[in-house]
């Protein structure tokens, strides 16, 4: 038996590395186990998010948005930028550099906070012991007072579209595309599918997205989903709903024939690359010894209570491997909550106030309940909506598409949901999150002074509109 720790964290993604840093800050002797190594055998920190998820996708989205703006938005502003082109190789190299800087930074943060990094694959044994098998196959067992499982998730693979080097890709492969495919197919019109589709459509790919469900973005507010479908279609994404992929065939080693069924029967599509973006599943294979005491739920997620406690005393689980949205900020906040609980502090997380964002352009962002949810729950609500087309600052920024929609309880005035489609909705949504976290009413936002001219004024105006008092648009007739 080797060293004993107060806390051992398994996994160094945004759940695990944040939990480890917080635990160490709170004076706990902490180790973090990570199995990912690069081609030289050096540990890779940051998990899915920093390496093949949030950060690299946003780097590519930012670059291609600038390209799109230069090609399609400059002329109207009197900027002459003829023959603007994209060097996709350079774009991907820049993305790689950003990933390198950030993941390397976590190693520095571990050192600064006194977190011990244990390279290897962690396995939880009975009695909070953790076996770590390093890249060379050497196993060491460590004891811990507390263990935090933060093993994250992996992409779902579907039998009709098995991954094929360079042709049928998952999210990691999609982020490595270095040349614009002439025809790009995407299976799944979820967050990842739409972000990847946007990146390559802006570079000139003919993008077809096959989505098995009949509804587009069923989890988003109905107005957001409708507006997003309209705008993304206008940008060239061919989104086919009710289209289920049933098979694929590689033709001459260079093209993919995609078979799918829709309302009209069997269909085919030929693409140069196919991205499979049908969701992610918890990564728990090999993580738990039979007698670890930790149980999985019926969908394969690690079973936890509202404080992320598993069935084994002193063992917690956080992030993508447990119930709840698969989002980096949810993983990190669970990590902080658990570290605080272990250190003896009172801590809880508000799962009703987790923002969701899809980084298309315009961006889609929301927090709280959708109109459809409130309707089905029979809650009486009021809605205030303000379009960016009526915002002077949005006009100046050449980003007038979309709106802010605030939904509040008809009787108590409390804000129940904030939904946006807009140029910087990913930033603006924080205003809705803060308002809801502080249990704000619509009146609280109405009485708040927003700087002029800012796109944030759309939040103010949407709050005013909920009571038919918007200033810069005509209000609905009083009901
Ligand atoms: P992960 O980030 O998956 O990290 C788990 C870590 O544990 C990995 O490093 C893994 O190697 C390690 N590990 C697993 N098992 C073991 C073991 N037995 N021993 C040792 N180490 C182990 N979320 C957002 O909030 N915003 C976004 O914009 C966003 N964009 C995304 C874009 C893409 C393309 C993808 C794929 C995901 C995106 N996500 C986004 C989701 C986000 O990446 C995840 O929600 C987040 O990474 C989950 O964090 P985690 O710490 O739970 O797991
Ligand atoms: P998300 O979980 O947000 O990444 O979204 C994944 C999407 O993929 C969901 O909307 C699923 O309906 C869709 N999907 C899953 N399997 C298939 C399939 N075989 N063909 C087309 N779409 C699919």
User: Which atom of ligand 2 lies at the shortest distance from residue 218's CA?
Assistant: 10
Give yes or no on whether 4-155+281-349 and 168-278 have one common fold.
yes
Beta 139-149 vs 4-10: how paired, if at all? parallel
54 Cβ closer than 6 Å to some ligand 1 atom? yes
Tell me what the mean pLDDT of segment 48-75 comes to.
98
327 Cβ closer than 6 Å to some ligand 2 atom? no
Residue 257's H or E segment, with its range, is strand 255-262
CA dihedral 95, 99, 102, 108 (to 10 degrees): -140
Q: Specify the CATH number for 353-465; select among 3.30.390.30, 3.90.420.10, 3.60.15.10, 1.20.58.760.
A: 3.30.390.30
SS3 302: strand
Which among 190, 258, 262 is the best mutation to test ligand 2's pocket, defined by most ligand atoms within 8 Å of the CB?
A: 190
188 Cβ closer than 6 Å to some ligand 1 atom? no
33 Cβ closer than 6 Å to some ligand 1 atom? yes
User: Which atom of ligand 2 lies at the shortest distance from residue 244's CA?
Assistant: 20
Give the pTM.
0.97
Tell me what the mean pLDDT of segment 447-475 comes to.
98
Share of the chain above pLDDT 70, in %: 99
Ligand nearest to the backbone CA of 156: 2
* 209 to 3, 215, 242, 260, 262: CA distances (angstroms): 51, 13, 11, 11, 13
Q: Average model confidence (pLDDT) for the chain?
A: 97
Cβ atoms of 195 and 65 closer than 8 Å: no
pLDDT at 272: 98
pLDDT at 177: 97
Which among 20, 22, 31, 49 is the best mutation to test ligand 1's pocket, defined by most ligand atoms within 8 Å of the CB?
A: 49
pLDDT at 415: 98
Distance 181 CA to ligand 2 centre (A): 22
158 Cβ closer than 6 Å to some ligand 2 atom? yes
53 Cβ closer than 6 Å to some ligand 1 atom? yes
The yes-or-no verdict on residue 381 having pLDDT over 70 is yes
Cβ atoms of 375 and 384 closer than 8 Å: no
pLDDT band at 370 (very low <50, low <70, confident <90, very high): very high
pLDDT at 259: 98
Distance 283 CA to ligand 2 centre (A): 19
Ligand 1, atom 8, residue with closest C-alpha: 47
For 142, counting Cβ atoms within 10 Å of its Cβ (0-12 exposed, 13-18 middle, 19+ buried), the class is: buried
Please state, in angstroms and rounded to a whole number, the distance separating the CA atoms of residues 170 and 156: 9
pLDDT band at 478 (very low <50, low <70, confident <90, very high): low
Distance 48 CA to ligand 1 centre (A): 3
Which residue is catalytic, options 452, 460, 469, 472?
Answer: 452
Please state, in angstroms and rounded to a whole number, the distance separating the CA atoms of residues 317 and 10: 9
- Pick the more confident residue, 443 or 478: 443
The yes-or-no verdict on residue 2 having pLDDT over 70 is no
The yes-or-no verdict on residue 1 having pLDDT over 80 is no
Tell me what the mean pLDDT of segment 296-320 comes to.
98
452 is catalytic: yes
What is the three-state SS of 313-359? CCEEECHHHCCCCCCHHHHHHHHHHHHHHHCCCCCCCCHHHCCEEEC
CATH architecture of 168-278: 3-Layer(bba) Sandwich (3.50)
pLDDT at 476: 79
User: Which atom of ligand 1 lies at the shortest distance from residue 36's CA?
Assistant: 11
Instruction: Evaluate the omega torsion of the peptide bond into residue 7 and state whether it is cis, within 30 degrees of 0.
Output: no
* 164 to 269, 273, 274, 355, 434: CA distances (angstroms): 17, 10, 9, 34, 44
Share of the chain above pLDDT 90, in %: 99
CA 161 to chain centre: 23
pLDDT per residue as tens digits for the range 138-161? 999 999 999 999 999 999 999 999
The yes-or-no verdict on residue 168 having pLDDT over 60 is yes
209 Cβ closer than 6 Å to some ligand 2 atom? no
- Hey, how many other C-beta atoms are within 10 angstroms of the C-beta on 234? 9
The yes-or-no verdict on residue 128 having pLDDT over 70 is yes
459 Cβ closer than 6 Å to some ligand 2 atom? no
pLDDT per residue as tens digits for the range 413-432? 999 999 999 999 999 999 99
Q: Specify the CATH number for 4-155+281-349; select among 3.50.50.60, 3.30.460.20, 3.40.190.10, 3.30.428.10.
A: 3.50.50.60
3-state percent helix, strand, coil for the chain, nearest multiple of 5: 35, 25, 40
- Alpha-carbon dihedral sign for residues 335, 341, 345, 351: positive
Distance 104 CA to ligand 1 centre (A): 16
Please state, in angstroms and rounded to a whole number, the distance separating the CA atoms of residues 417 and 397: 26
Ligand 2, atom 17, residue with closest C-alpha: 212
Tell me what the mean pLDDT of segment 393-413 comes to.
98
SS3 383: strand
Q: Domain spans of the chain?
A: 4-155+281-349, 168-278, 353-465
326 Cβ closer than 6 Å to some ligand 1 atom? yes
The yes-or-no verdict on residue 255 having pLDDT over 90 is yes
The yes-or-no verdict on residue 479 having pLDDT over 70 is no
Cβ atoms of 351 and 345 closer than 8 Å: no
The yes-or-no verdict on residue 477 having pLDDT over 90 is no
- Hey, how many other C-beta atoms are within 10 angstroms of the C-beta on 129? 18
pLDDT at 3: 79
């Amino acid at each position: 038996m080797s060293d004993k720790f107060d806390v051992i964290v398994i996994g160094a993604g945004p759940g695990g590395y944040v939990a480890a840093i917080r635990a160490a800050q709170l004076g706990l002797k902490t180790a973090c186990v990570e199995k990912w190594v690069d081609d030289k055998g050096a540990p890779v920190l940051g998990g899915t998010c920093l390496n093949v998820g949030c950060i690299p996708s946003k780097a590519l989205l930012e670059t291609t948005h600038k390209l799109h703006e230069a090609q399609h938005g400059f002329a109207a502003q009197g900027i002459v930028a003829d023959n603007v082109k994209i060097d996709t190789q350079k774009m991907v190299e820049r993305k790689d550099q950003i990933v390198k800087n950030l993941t390397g930074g976590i190693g520095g943060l571990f050192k600064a906070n006194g977190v011990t990094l244990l390279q290897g694959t962690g396995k939880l044994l009975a009695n909070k012991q953790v076996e770590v098998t390093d890249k060379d196959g050497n196993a060491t067992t460590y004891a811990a007072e507390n263990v935090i499982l933060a093993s994250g998730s992996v992409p779902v693979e579907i039998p009709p579209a098995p991954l094929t080097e360079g042709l049928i890709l998952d999210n990691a492969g999609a982020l490595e595309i270095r040349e614009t495919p002439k025809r790009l197919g995407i299976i799944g019109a979820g967050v990842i599918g739409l972000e990847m589709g946007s990146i390559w459509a802006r570079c000139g790919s003919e993008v077809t997205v096959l989505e098995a469900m009949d509804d587009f973005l069923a989890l988003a507010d109905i107005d957001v989903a409708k507006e997003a479908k309209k705008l993304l279609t206008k940008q060239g994404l061919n989104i086919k709903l009710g289209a289920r992929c049933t098979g694929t065939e590689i033709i001459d080693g260079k093209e993919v024939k995609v078979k799918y069924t829709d309302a009209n029967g069997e269909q085919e599509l030929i693409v140069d690359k196919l991205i499979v973006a049908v969701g992610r599943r918890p990564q728990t294979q090999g993580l738990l010894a039979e007698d670890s005491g930790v149980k999985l739920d019926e969908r394969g997620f690690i079973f936890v209570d509202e404080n992320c406690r598993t069935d084994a005393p002193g063992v917690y689980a956080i992030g993508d491997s447990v119930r709840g949205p698969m989002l980096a900020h949810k993983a990190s906040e669970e990590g902080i909550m658990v570290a605080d609980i272990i250190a003896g502090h009172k801590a809880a997380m508000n799962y009703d106030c987790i923002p969701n964002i899809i980084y298309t352009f315009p961006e889609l962002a929301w927090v709280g309940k959708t109109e459809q949810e409130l309707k089905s729950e029979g809650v009486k609500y009021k809605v205030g909506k303000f379009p960016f087309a009526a915002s002077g600052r949005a006009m100046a920024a050449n980003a007038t598409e979309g709106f802010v929609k605030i939904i509040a309880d008809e009787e108590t005035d409390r804000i129940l949901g904030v939904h946006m489609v807009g140029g910087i909705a990913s930033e603006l949504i924080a205003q809705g999150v803060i308002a809801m976290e502080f249990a704000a009413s619509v009146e609280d936002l109405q009485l708040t002074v927003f700087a002029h001219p800012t796109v944030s004024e759309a939040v103010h105006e949407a709050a005013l509109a909920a009571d038919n008092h918007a200033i810069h648009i005509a209000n609905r007739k009083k009901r």
